[in-house]
Structures are given as C-alpha cells and as structure tokens.
Amino acid sequence: MEINTKEAFEHLGHAPIIEAVIDIRCVPQNDWREEPVKDGLSKVLLDYSQMETQVQGKISLGPLPGALAQGSGGTATIDWEGYRLRSSTAPQLCQFTRGGFLFSRLSPYSNWAEFSKEALRLWEVHRSIARPASMQRVGVRFINRILTPAEGLRTEDAYTSSPTAPKGLEVLLAGFLSHETWKVPGHNYGLNLIKTIQSVPGQSPTNVGLFVDVDVFTAEDQIPVEDNGVLARRLDEMHWLKNKAFFGSITSSQKERLR
C-alpha cells in the first residue's frame, strides 16, 4: 500500500473534529522525580501556566483470606506519575508522565501543520527531561462528531458501510456501535476505527451525533527515539491514514453538510 502524504484532501468549512491527540508512550531513563520534572517544565513552558499533578492509585490485596481476617489485609498507595498542563491561550493540553507524552487539541481545531508542530515542540521538552531509550507506541487520534437530525436517520445515510439485520429477522435498528482494527500492508501501522451514533448532552434532543473515531498507531514493539525530522514524517504518514479512514467512512451527503 502506498502512503502519499502529498495528497490533498477536501477542506471542510465545518470540520467535525472535537479532539485531536498525539500520544507517545515511552519509559524515562532519567530519574523521574516530582520536583526536578516540575522545575524543568515550569522553566520552558511559560505558555502552559495551568499545571495539575497526575497520580496513579494501586491496591495490593493480602495473600490469603485468613490473613485478611487477622488484620494483615491489602494496602492502597498513590504514586506520583507526572503533570498535566493546560494552555492559557488555546484549547489544548499536554501530559508529561512516567508512561509517556500526550498532546491534545480540543475544538476549534486549527490545522495539521500547526497542531503537529506544537506537539513536536512539547515532545522535545519531554524527551530532554525523561531521556527515554525508545518509544513503545506512537499514536495519532482524531475524534469527529457530526450533528445531524435524528428523525428518519438511517445508518446508510451516515456511513459508507452499515449493519444489516440478521437474516430471517424483521427487526429495527435501535443502536449502532462498530469497532474495527486494521493493519496497513507494507507499513508498521495499525488503525482503530470506531463508528457510533449517540445523543449529545447539551444539544437539541432532535439531533444525534455521528461519531467517527480514528486512531492510527505504530505496530512495532520498540521504536528508536528518532530526531524530530524523522518523527514528523511518520506523524504525517499517520495523519494521511487518518484522513483516508475518515473520508472513506462518511457518505457524500454528510460531506456536503460539512462543507
């Protein structure tokens, strides 16, 4: 399969992206301690002024029911994992944790060039502090939601592939959720594609949301920590795959509504 990152996709005047995410999972080689990490982030990320501590709870059960009865039961601990920072100027946040790095942009989404450039800048901050030896997973995920009238809606009017009733049963579709996982031939990429129709809190009850959730990810177990030029190329390839999956999942009538 050929990946063509130069391919131009249609610009949608009403882009349905409600969240875009770049996620890099890796293990720090540097000593990952709260104060040095906080100090390192605070010095260089002045435009991300809202900082929240990230923790992870762990529960350890006692070895035997008898031991629990004798008062030597389980324990619960809270481990510090890292920080979540929110931008003071844009609807975006980043996470720097023991498990890796994440950058998220909420609606309104700007464009891929701007989004990926900021993600790479922030990743370089994480890499300089954590010094990971490799990456276990790189992911590009876009969650899309198209608001559409619920009355008379059929899945075949929304998606290019839709469910059919079991043979011999005259039943009506009351809900829809599709989760598919695909491999990309000739490339170390995989793709999760989730499609569902749901009501949307805060929106008119006469409308529903058509969701297309595309998660493109690397399929290798260990990925060398590459310079940003190589990583940027890989992200561009994953973004192309995301676009092909999205535009290939919705019908022409839905595209018309988004123009």
- SS3 sequence of 137-173: EEEEEEEEEEEEECCCCCHHHHECCCCCCCCCCCCCC
DSSP tag of 62: -
Q: Is residue 180 part of a domain?
A: yes
Phi, psi of 167 (to 5 degrees): -60, 130
Count of Cβ atoms closer than 10 Å to residue 36 Cβ: 12
Q: Is residue 35 part of a domain?
A: yes
Helix (H) or strand (E) holding 246: helix 228-247
So what's the pLDDT on residue 152?
A: 80
Total domains in the chain come to 1
pLDDT tens digits, 28-50: 999 999 999 999 999 999 999 89
pLDDT tens digits, 185-207: 999 999 999 999 888 888 888 88
- Tell whether the model's pLDDT for residue 253 goes beyond 70: yes
Determine contact, residues 108/12, Cβ cutoff 8 Å: no
Tokens of 8: 């131009």
Q: Is residue 75 part of a domain?
A: no
Q: What is the DSSP string of 168-235?
A: T--------EEEEEEE-TTSSEEEEEEEEEE--TTS-TTEEEEEEEEEEEE--S-EE---HHHHHHHH
So what's the pLDDT on residue 74?
A: 63
So what's the pLDDT on residue 68?
A: 52
Determine contact, residues 30/129, Cβ cutoff 8 Å: yes
Give residue 241's domain range: 17-55+86-258
- Tell whether the model's pLDDT for residue 73 goes beyond 90: no
Q: Is residue 10 part of a domain?
A: no
Mean pLDDT of 168-197: 90
Q: Is residue 94 part of a domain?
A: yes
Q: Is residue 66 part of a domain?
A: no
Give residue 102's pLDDT band: very low, low, confident or very high (50, 70, 90): very high
So what's the pLDDT on residue 6?
A: 93
Q: Is residue 8 part of a domain?
A: no
Give bridge partners of residue 144 from the DSSP assignment.
17, 212
Q: Which residue has the tokens 């058509």?
A: 210
Q: Is residue 51 part of a domain?
A: yes
Q: Cα(10)–Cα(254) distance, rounded to whole angstroms?
A: 13
- Tell whether the model's pLDDT for residue 220 goes beyond 70: yes
Tokens of 11: 């610009």
